[in-house]
């Protein structure tokens, strides 16, 4: 089996999900090749090769920022040359935009946002949640050609260093990076905070915080945990916090090791985006709130009393 993985970088900085995809491919066995594209790929390519994969590195000034039109063309040339059985990327904005276009261009089948992969008799089965995580679909490629798969961030462990990796620097055909749109600048909306998709710990708030002035309390708790900050759709729609924090059906799907749901009732639209978290801690004054049905730990009480005390204890513990 030949597997092609696509690394994700932002301004020459590798995202951790790139290593998760390599580990998922490694677990399937077979020959692994990784494509990395950017303005300067030297450091990223070396880090990827240290995980035991053959790295095809494409460096060009016009590849510094993600441009799906140019990136698709380059990966398509690799697919045509390598003829992989499977192409894998993370189910981030980057991966979703890239892989959907690739699957359409190559006429291949696609499975998105997968949380499990198995191989039986040489055929790949991809497992993905559906209907808010209440059921799981098993997807197989029943047509000839490449199978395109995106993986939910944090659903797979990161690859550890392994021998056998090497870097093959590729020449970029200038025609491949001539696109209709040019990306001039990338402005981060997170302000340097932890990204929700890549976070191991998330502290999320709901309408129970009563007003935007109280969101600072959630941010302080998140800072104590070195965590990302999330929010329910209710407080995003109310204008209390920006959309970039929204977790749920119309926001981001997250899969952290630890998820604090503070003042969140647990509407199904929110649960869709976070119920696969490894450990869920709910803080709510309503003992009958639906969030307690999926929480591993529940604290029933006034969050305005609980969160400050919890934050103080966390600061003391973390240092």
Question: 72-100 pLDDT, tens per residue?
Answer: 999 999 999 999 999 999 999 899 999 99
| pLDDT tier for residue 120 given thresholds of 50, 70 and 90 | confident
Kindly report whether the global pTM for this prediction surpasses the value 0.85.
yes
Beta bridge partners of residue 282, listed in sequence order: 261, 298
What the chain holds in terms of domains, given with CATH numbers, is 2-177 (3.40.50.620), 196-318 (3.40.50.1220)
What are the tens digits of pLDDT across the range 262-312?
999 999 999 999 999 999 999 999 999 999 999 999 999 999 999 999 999
| pLDDT tier for residue 191 given thresholds of 50, 70 and 90 | very low
């Amino acid at each position: 089996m030949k597997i092609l993985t696509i690394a994700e970088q932002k301004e020459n900085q590798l995202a951790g999900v790139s290593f998760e995809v390599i580990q998922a491919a490694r677990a399937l066995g077979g020959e692994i090749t990784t494509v990395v594209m950017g303005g300067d790929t030297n450091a990223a390519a070396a880090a990827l090769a240290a995980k035991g994969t053959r790295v095809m590195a494409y460096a060009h000034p016009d590849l510094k920022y993600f441009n799906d039109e140019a990136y698709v063309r380059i990966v398509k040339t690799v697919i045509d040359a390598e003829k992989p059985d499977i192409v894998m990327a993370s189910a981030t904005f980057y991966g979703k935009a890239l892989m959907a276009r690739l699957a359409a261009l190559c006429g291949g089948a696609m499975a998105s946002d997968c949380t499990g992969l198995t191989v039986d008799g040489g055929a790949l089965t991809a497992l993905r949640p559906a209907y808010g995580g209440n059921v799981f679909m098993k997807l197989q490629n029943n047509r000839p050609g490449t199978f395109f798969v995106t993986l939910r961030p944090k659903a797979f462990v990161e690859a550890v260093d392994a021998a056998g990796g090497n870097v093959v620097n590729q020449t970029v055909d200038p025609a491949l990076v001539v696109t209709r749109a040019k990306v001039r600048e990338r402005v981060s909306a997170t302000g340097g905070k932890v990204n929700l998709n890549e976070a191991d710990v998330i502290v999320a708030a709901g309408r129970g915080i009563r007003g935007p002035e109280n969101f600072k309390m959630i941010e302080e708790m998140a800072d104590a945990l070195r965590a990302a900050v999330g929010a329910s759709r209710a407080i995003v729609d109310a204008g209390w916090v920006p959309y970039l924090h929204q977790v749920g059906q119309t926001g981001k799907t997250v899969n952290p090791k630890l998820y604090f749901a503070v003042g969140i009732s647990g509407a199904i639209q929110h649960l869709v985006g976070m119920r696969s978290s490894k450990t869920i801690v709910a803080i709510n004054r309503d003992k009958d709130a639906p969030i307690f049905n999926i929480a591993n730990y529940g604290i029933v009480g006034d969050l305005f009393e609980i969160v400050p005390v919890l934050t103080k204890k966390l600061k003391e513990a973390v240092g």
